[in-house]
Amino acid sequence: MSEDVLLKVKGLEKKYGDIEALKGIDLEVKKGEVVVVLGPSGCGKSTFLRCINGLEEISKGEIHLEGYGLLGKEIPFEKVRGIVGMVFQSYELFPHLNVINNILLGPTKAQNRKKEEAEKQADELLNRVGLFNRKFSYPRELSGGQKQRIAIVRALCMNPEIMLFDEVTAALDPEMVREVLMVLLELAKNGMTMIVVTHELEFAKHVADKIVFMEEGKLVEVTTPKEFFNNPKTERAKSFLASFDLYK
Ligand code: ADP
């Protein structure tokens, strides 16, 4: 794995009125690294990803993407989506567009790419997630797991440098969780730089290069999966793991 730092977050703060959602976050993510963010509900995980994706205006601090510059300064917000891909818990596919038109919207409209060229890439990606035969289906004709895999393809088709996953399996039936996690696993194996927010601890253990544990808007542990699951340092992390009945 390359040691190059791709994403550097410095002193990131985010306030919603009086609520301090992020209280000074520092994090470096290297090219090809898989960072899994864990933490109790409301600790700021989603806000953190949304800031990196330019969906939230940050209150203080910096987000730097190697080769592009500072988010919101050298990288205009309308360009962020092509560099930082994000997939959400709810798939957010357009119901009136079929699969291929959902996927091609970003590449052709936001990136001004030629339809034929983008469609070739979309076909390859659809094959990769096992859904080429659903190219002309509409979202209502797909299962939750299939919709989520399409949402992943849609983000990948913009050729992002880094992918952010915000609890992408949380709304899925258990049997569909696996098919989506397999796609994430394959991406990780192929060297995609990823930040993954999840409650799937076995998956986190398996796929993460680095575990980040958040509490009340701060990163309280940044460590290896082995260290985090075998020897959590903070009481909060211990009780978090105990709530999954994994820590004894
Ligand atoms: P998590 O993803 O860890 O569950 P969030 O990032 O969603 O946490 O939320 C962090 C904190 O910020 C919470 O206190 C939440 O209520 C608050 N928050 C998140 N989004 C908004 C918003 N749009 N307006 C006001 N408060 C928000």
- Kindly state the DSSP code that residue 111 receives in the 8-state scheme: S
CA 143, 146, 151, 154 dihedral sign is negative
**Whole-angstrom Cα distance, residue 151 to residue 160?**
14
The whole-model pTM stands at 0.94
Break the chain into its structural domains and give their ranges: 5-246
Q: Whose CA is nearest to atom 27 of ligand 1?
A: 16
Q: What is the pLDDT of residue 81?
A: 84
What number is the average pLDDT over the span 58-83? 91
Q: What is the pLDDT of residue 246?
A: 52
CA 140 from centre of chain: 24
Is 90 exceeded by the pLDDT of residue 91?
no
Q: Whose CA is nearest to atom 20 of ligand 1?
A: 47
**Whole-angstrom Cα distance, residue 244 to residue 239?**
9
Q: Whose CA is nearest to atom 5 of ligand 1?
A: 44
- Kindly state the DSSP code that residue 24 receives in the 8-state scheme: E
Beta carbon of 49 within 6 Å of any ligand 1 atom: no
Is 60 exceeded by the pLDDT of residue 20?
yes
Beta carbon of 112 within 6 Å of any ligand 1 atom: no
Beta carbon of 42 within 6 Å of any ligand 1 atom: yes
Nearest partner of 44 among 65, 29, 27, 32, judged by Cα: 27
Instruction: Indicate the helix (H) or strand (E) that contains 115.
Output: helix 115-128
Q: Whose CA is nearest to atom 16 of ligand 1?
A: 42
Q: What is the atom index within ligand 1 of the atom nearest the CA of 167? A: 2
Q: Whose CA is nearest to atom 12 of ligand 1?
A: 21
Q: Are 106 and 144 in contact (CB under 8 A)?
A: no
Mean pLDDT of the chain: 94
CB atoms within 10 A of CB 94: 12
What number is the average pLDDT over the span 147-157? 96
**Whole-angstrom Cα distance, residue 100 to residue 93?**
11
CA atoms within a 13 Å half-sphere pointing along the CA-CB vector of 192: 24
Q: Whose CA is nearest to atom 21 of ligand 1?
A: 16
Say how many Å lie between the CA of residue 21 and the centre of ligand 1: 6
Say how many Å lie between the CA of residue 205 and the centre of ligand 1: 26
What number is the average pLDDT over the span 86-94? 92
Beta carbon of 242 within 6 Å of any ligand 1 atom: no
Measured CA angle at 7 (ends 4, 11), to 5 deg: 125
73-82, 124-133, 160-169, 208-217, range with the lowest pLDDT: 73-82
What's domain 5-246's superfamily in CATH?
A: P-loop containing nucleotide triphosphate hydrolases (3.40.50.300)
